[in-house]
Structure 1
């Protein structure tokens, strides 16, 4: 143990993640309090989401119910899956995959939400004669201000939707493929060799994610002034925060664990401990975001004032929605 060649690995640091019963039997007082508090937070998040679904079902116009429920469910669903991963460490890969698939759908749903808030596709297309889409925005082209603005047409609207929808579709397909390869023993997140499946699938999913975030950002930059009164900026901030915490934060911690920066603490190996830290952090973070999101979306969904054709103030560009039957 005096040098690298003679260094021994502590017992348990190379074992697979422990079983749920092993965790329960080995919890000390601090562990019992920590697990109890985090589980309570996850349960409260789900209860808040269920109460919000009831409110949305009663108060929100029919064409907005689905998208608002999907977007509201991002934080509580990720928190719930993280709670399951905390109690059952061997299922962490599957809970993370479910969370990632859900959020991939939320990316598309948030784009649809912005379109519905402004009045729907037809109202969005009516902005074409006066406005154009600025495509020099993140995460793809924020460093290219010279890019030309794009006209608002049915084709450009279709491409915006397609760019966000492809992540929801392909992420689900790649997740099912990953599970199939895992059962065959050819998908291992810790296998970073060129012959491993994870080294090919995960970067490809990262590229798809960046492509999907681009049309959402374009639409947000185009509509943020028109939807300012509907708190679209803090809503977009919450959506981005969920993305950063559930994807970027998790990736950073897992990379640190694989590199040995995060120490092994038996019965958890370094990667398993990294995953455990991710789950515990996400439960707390998603609990806070769930409460903040509830405040943003809990409002009276009255018809919006009709847009004045000759109005020059962008902040007043709202379109009346038909009363629901």
Structure 2
């Protein structure tokens, strides 16, 4: 109570308006905001240029998924830039980024299947193999889990596992906004009666469930798609996930706990959000440039698999019965 009584009253206020930030920027602040805004703008321009390239050069069955996956970093960077300039909109910009990435999780799984040639080609190539499901993030320690045959049903279940996140994340976001307008959703309210403490973990569980099928397919196709740079592509996808979700959550928790100090006109939580937005703009700018290099290539079909050479190397195969 003593600390609160001696705290600057501005540390207890809501995040400042955009005009208040602009009027109080010093020379360093002007340079910082200008550079970060420039990075976010360049990221979006690079993405738009890449969309033109994909539209002209990429087969129709891959255009949509590649554009979605390529857009993860620039969209998150742009939303972070908006959140940096308009702190009171941070919750909405973060939710928009999270909803977009929820779709990207599903699209990346579809991308790997399409790189093989689509569902039919995937089933034809992988029909004699079995899926190893003891992988992260759900079951990496459960080595006793049986291997699953690759069938239309198992492929459908894998797609469904990721698709549910794309749908339910949007539903949970709409619900959060509705509750927020009613004054019953507050990210800083971690009491048992608060809605955020229930929605947050539920979305976390949905995220883990959605990431699991993507990891299963990647482990199965990582050798087959090695010439298409699927490993660095997967690494970039995972990096976007870690930075946009885990890093942001850690910074926000540190701010709520008081580890990140108040700096008027920013309260501790608002300052934490601001730091998170600024870091994301820089990180997404770098990832955008790297992603452009990975996806800007000739999209020729994969060569036919040579069974006698690639039987045990092209895919994660299982010899013997399940």
Match of 2:318 in 1: none
2:136 to 135, 138, 145: 138
CA drift at 1:189: 0.3
Alignment of 1:114-133 (within 5 A): 114-133=112-131
- Counterpart position of 1:250: 248
Cα distance, 1:146 vs. partner? 1.4
Between the aligned partners of 1:206 and 1:179, the Cα distance in structure 2 is 18
1:74 paired with 2:97, answer no
2:293 is the counterpart of 1:295: yes
Taking structure 2 as the reference length, the TM-score comes to 0.95
Q: Is the 8 A contact 1:225 1:314 kept in 2?
A: no
Contact 1:227 1:315 in 2 (8 A): no
Please list every run of 5 or more consecutive structure 1 residues that lacks an aligned counterpart in the other structure: 318-325
In the alignment, is the contact (CA less than 8 A) between 1:127 and 1:152 conserved in 2? no
Q: Which has the higher helix share?
A: 2
| Residue of structure 1 equivalent to 2:215 | 217
Alignment equivalent of 1:167, drawn from 165, 168, 171: 165
CA distance in 2, matches of 1:261, 1:6: 15
CA-based RMSD? 1.4
Shift of 1:306: 2.1
Asked if the contact 1:70–1:109 (Cα under 8 Å) also holds between the matched residues in 2, the reply is yes
Map of 1:191 onto structure 2: 189
Runs of 4+ in 1 over 4 A off after TM superposition: 3-7, 313-317
How far 1:130 sits from its partner (Å)? 2.2
Q: Distance in 2 between matches of 1:210 and 1:202?
A: 13
Distance in structure 1 (CA, Å) of the matches to 2:274 and 2:82: 11
Q: CA deviation at 1:147?
A: 1.0
**Is the CA contact (8 Å cut-off) linking 2:127 and 2:151 kept in structure 1?**
no
User: Partners in 2 of 1:176 and 1:81 — Cα distance?
Assistant: 17
| Cα distance per residue 1:290-319 (max 9 Å; x no partner) | 0000000000112222223444356668xx
Q: Secondary structure at the match of 2:80?
A: helix
TM-score, normalised to structure 1's length? 0.94
Q: Distance in 2 between matches of 1:120 and 1:127?
A: 11
Residues 57-100 of structure 1, C-alpha deviations (whole Å, 9 max, x = no match): 00000000000000000000000000000000000000000000
Call closer, same or farther: CA 1:175–1:33 in 2, change over 3 Å: same
1:143-154 alignment, distance < 5 Å: 143-154=141-152
Once the 2 structures are TM-superposed, how far is the Cα of residue 123 of structure 1 from its aligned partner? 1.5
After superposing the two structures, state which structure 1 stretch, 300-309 or 199-208, moved more: 300-309
Whether the aligned pair in 1 keeps the contact of 2:251 and 2:276 (CA below 8 Å) is: yes
Residue 11 of structure 1 is matched in structure 2 by: 9
Q: Deviations over 1:182-221 (max 9, x none)?
A: 0010000001111111010011000000000000000000
In the alignment, which of 105, 108, 111 is matched to residue 106 of structure 2?
108
Structure-2 separation of matches of 1:168 and 1:235: 20
The equivalent position to 2:199 in structure 1, one of 180, 193, 201, is: 201
1:226 aligned onto 2:224: yes
Aligned-partner SS, 1:265:
coil
Distance 1:231 1:127 in 2: 19
Is 1:29 matched up with 2:46?
no
Cα distance in structure 1, aligned partners of 2:259 and 2:275: 13
Q: Answer whether contact 1:52 1:294 (CA < 8 A) is retained.
A: yes
Hey, what's the Cα distance between the residues in 2 that align with 1:314 and 1:108? 28
1:92 to 90, 93, 111: 90
Unaligned stretches of 5+ in structure 2? 316-322
Superposed displacement of residue 112, structure 1: 0.1
Structure 2 Cα separation of the partners of residues 94 and 211 of structure 1: 24
- Aligned match for 1:284, one of 269, 282, 285: 282
